[in-house]
Structure 1
Amino acid sequence: MSNSGNRQPTIIDIAKAAGVSKSTVARALSGSPHIGEASRERVLTAVRALGYERNHLAHSLRAGRTGMIGLVIPDIANPFWAEVARGAQDAAAANGSSLLIFSSDWDAAREASHLRALRQARVDGAIVNPVADNVDGLGRFGLPVVLIGSSAERFPELSSVGSDIAQGVALGLDHLASLGHFRPALLLGSPNRLARVRFLRVVHDHCLAHDIDPATLMIEEGEYTVESGKAATLRLLEREGAAVRCIFAANDLMALGALLAVREAGLTCPGEVSILGFDGIPAGAFSDPGLTTIEKPARSIGLEGIKLLAEAIDGNLDHRRVLLECTLTMRGSLARTEKDNRSARLVAGGRN
């Protein structure tokens, strides 16, 4: 059996080839249980022989669904967000859906433009990591939405999924304390983000538990990039000097920038400065030394986000916040604190 010319085969062609009615073909293609196995097999054999491809758009319009889902993340170039996207893509494909991925580049206007494009594309719903901690405008886009990221807890009317930042920060601080680093310098992101507030809240509690004045902590700010992490670390080293024995960065890209800055300053990691990251991106395994990090479950965030969105699309209004546990990934960028090698070296240098 073959289809003549370049014309795409239709349901009518399949019905003729299989010797069944059009309604029987429709039932077979939709997976309906109301069809005999022999008839179903004849239809599927004809489909394969003729190279029939179902018109999913027409079917979706009849069903009120397009089978397309939107994902709006802040930075597709960041390996963490790429992992989130991969998890969402895998889950969407398993559900027979296609994923449209947009990067807002931390720009609220661009994010709004992407959401309008998704609505015009008639997507069934969207997963969004909002650029700002104010997502009041999402409702006007008329889409089922699931949030990911730090903004989510402020909006209990929407389902959300994310890593347990508080648990992850506490895990990192406890591990640093076990190595003698009770007062790490901090590389933090934008001051107007909830993630920073949550990070500092855990640090504050940790300080009180170890009889440390939180006001004495060394803190530098930057963006979540390698370049910004490097610049922030150089400022920190210039200002604090040998007091910087350990750095805890808010994400791995900043931590990798810190590693470059330490090297540029003529110091060693972890011998003179220990560095701890936060995210668990693959690049950390290939730095020298390898970056010890608190790993967020990036791919699982994408997978769980699709599950929650499917519930929202189906009209489930039982909104919930899912927090996934972080884990410690040990590599080579942390060392137990010993005598201040830099101070000793400076003293020795002064004697020569």
Structure 2
Amino acid sequence: MSRNRRPTIVDVAELAGVSKSTAARALTGSTNITDETRERVVRAASAVGYERNHLAVGMRSGRSGMLGLVMPDIANPFWADVARGAQDRAAQAGMSLLVFSSDWDPDVEATHLQTLRRARVDGAIINPVSDSFDDLDRFGLPCVFIGSSAERFPDVSSVGSDIAQAVRLGLDRLVQMGHPAPALILGPKSRLARARFLRAVHEHCVERDVDPGILDIEDGEYTVEGGREAMKRLMARARVGHLAVFAANDMMALGAMMAVRDAGLDCPRDVSIIGFDGIPSGEFAWPGLTTVAKPGRDIGERAVEGLFDEIEHKPEHRRIYMPCRLIERGSLADLSTHAPKRIAGAGRV
């Protein structure tokens, strides 16, 4: 066989000593092939460097063997973890994953969705960057939603973190450490994730007979710089006593820690900070960032499994809430044995 010629199923059959049809059935997972024959054909395919023509297979089956994933920010390690989980699960099923980042831009997202349609992917996992996602009816492909916006679409299968459970984990730990009313660094007001986070905080406060209105709140982008600037604004406010902060994601929390250092203060001696997401970089910060970790990789895996159900026309159309866990590091001061003069977060003078 010429080195310039692509190996064919005929080359595999000849080397394995079987017919062309037998070789084809062995490589497509047919059940009426003995294990010994299948193994012989697989070895022959590997030896000659044969790869199935997935385009031709797709034309016959109506499937491309490809899935799409559109996420808002692949530079955020949490979303990268989601992508890894989705990719691993797709690979287990012999499928490929096309990954796109919308950078929180609805127009960019629309372009990616159009590309997926043109690529004739079998289905897509989407985190809509706009809570008024209006392209669903025109998308024309099986899909599963991830992220907070999914709750606005009850007829679409979706997977996400249990935000209420996660926020409660963080707040319970803050209370245990002597921080009954932390300041909050949240995302933009346009995002449903901000409303869900704030709702969980308010419910927790009401249960403890704490007025949610005393909480200091700063908004910002879900980035390191967004957290840094929000933290500067919080520290510029006059207050008494120790400041505790709950940030809506770890990148914002890491930016907040940078702002504390920039101001010549110390975390956790002067300021306590807890994050949300569980990205690896929080472990390497100094001090290490205490955080509530979302199961990014598990979300990716479950989303792909849900997409398989959509593709096979057997979806349950339900929202799967996945539990989060607390990761203890060193960014929270323990004030539980001290009675602060005033409630942190309410100390305006």
| TM class by smaller structure | over 0.9
Instruction: From the superposition, tell whether residues 46 and 226 of structure 1 become closer, same or farther in structure 2 (CA, over 3 Å).
Output: closer
Instruction: From the superposition, tell whether residues 256 and 242 of structure 1 become closer, same or farther in structure 2 (CA, over 3 Å).
Output: farther
- Residue 63 of structure 1 deviates from its aligned partner by 1.0
User: How does 1:1-352 map onto structure 2 within 5 Å?
Assistant: 3-37=1-35, 39-242=37-240, 245-337=243-335, 338=338
Contact map agreement 2:306 2:315 (CA 8 A) in 1 = no
1:40-88 Cα deviation digits (max 9, x unpaired)? 4553444344332221221122111111111101001111111111111
DSSP 3-state at the match of 1:322? strand
Structure index of larger Rg: 1
DSSP 3-state at the match of 2:33? coil
Instruction: From the superposition, tell whether residues 29 and 174 of structure 1 become closer, same or farther in structure 2 (CA, over 3 Å).
Output: same
- Residue 17 of structure 1 deviates from its aligned partner by 4.0
DSSP 3-state at the match of 1:239? coil
Contact map agreement 1:272 1:340 (CA 8 A) in 2 = no
DSSP 3-state at the match of 2:236? helix
Instruction: From the superposition, tell whether residues 7 and 253 of structure 1 become closer, same or farther in structure 2 (CA, over 3 Å).
Output: same
Unaligned runs of 5+ in 1: 342-352
Aligned letter for 1:30?
T
- Residue 39 of structure 1 deviates from its aligned partner by 4.2
> Which stretch shows the higher mean deviation, 123-132 or 238-247?
238-247
DSSP 3-state at the match of 1:136? coil
- Normalising by structure 1, we get a TM-score of 0.92
Q: Quick one: distance in 1 between partners of 2:320 and 2:23?
A: 42
- Residue 241 of structure 1 deviates from its aligned partner by 3.7
Contact map agreement 2:66 2:121 (CA 8 A) in 1 = yes
Q: Quick one: distance in 2 between partners of 1:172 and 1:42?
A: 56
- Normalising by structure 2, we get a TM-score of 0.93
Q: Quick one: distance in 2 between partners of 1:197 and 1:114?
A: 27
Instruction: From the superposition, tell whether residues 197 and 49 of structure 1 become closer, same or farther in structure 2 (CA, over 3 Å).
Output: closer
Q: Quick one: distance in 1 between partners of 2:307 and 2:173?
A: 35
Percent identity over paired residues? 61
- Residue 276 of structure 1 deviates from its aligned partner by 0.5
Contact map agreement 1:185 1:244 (CA 8 A) in 2 = no
What is the aligned residue count?
Answer: 340
- Residue 20 of structure 1 deviates from its aligned partner by 3.3
Q: Quick one: distance in 2 between partners of 1:236 and 1:64?
A: 56
Q: Quick one: distance in 1 between partners of 2:300 and 2:129?
A: 17
DSSP 3-state at the match of 2:326? strand
Contact map agreement 2:182 2:216 (CA 8 A) in 1 = yes
Q: Quick one: distance in 2 between partners of 1:23 and 1:266?
A: 74
Aligned letter for 2:87?
Q
Unaligned runs of 5+ in 2: 342-349
1:104-149 Cα deviation digits (max 9, x unpaired)? 0000000010000011011111111110112231220211110000
Aligned letter for 1:92?
A
- Residue 217 of structure 1 deviates from its aligned partner by 1.0
Q: Quick one: distance in 2 between partners of 1:32 and 1:303?
A: 26
Q: Quick one: distance in 1 between partners of 2:83 and 2:140?
A: 23
Q: Quick one: distance in 2 between partners of 1:83 and 1:48?
A: 31
Instruction: From the superposition, tell whether residues 243 and 217 of structure 1 become closer, same or farther in structure 2 (CA, over 3 Å).
Output: farther
Contact map agreement 1:184 1:244 (CA 8 A) in 2 = no
Contact map agreement 1:66 1:122 (CA 8 A) in 2 = yes
Instruction: From the superposition, tell whether residues 207 and 5 of structure 1 become closer, same or farther in structure 2 (CA, over 3 Å).
Output: closer
Contact map agreement 1:182 1:210 (CA 8 A) in 2 = no
Instruction: Report the RMSD for the aligned CA atoms in angstroms.
Output: 1.8
- Residue 264 of structure 1 deviates from its aligned partner by 1.5
Q: Quick one: distance in 1 between partners of 2:40 and 2:298?
A: 40
Aligned letter for 1:271?
R
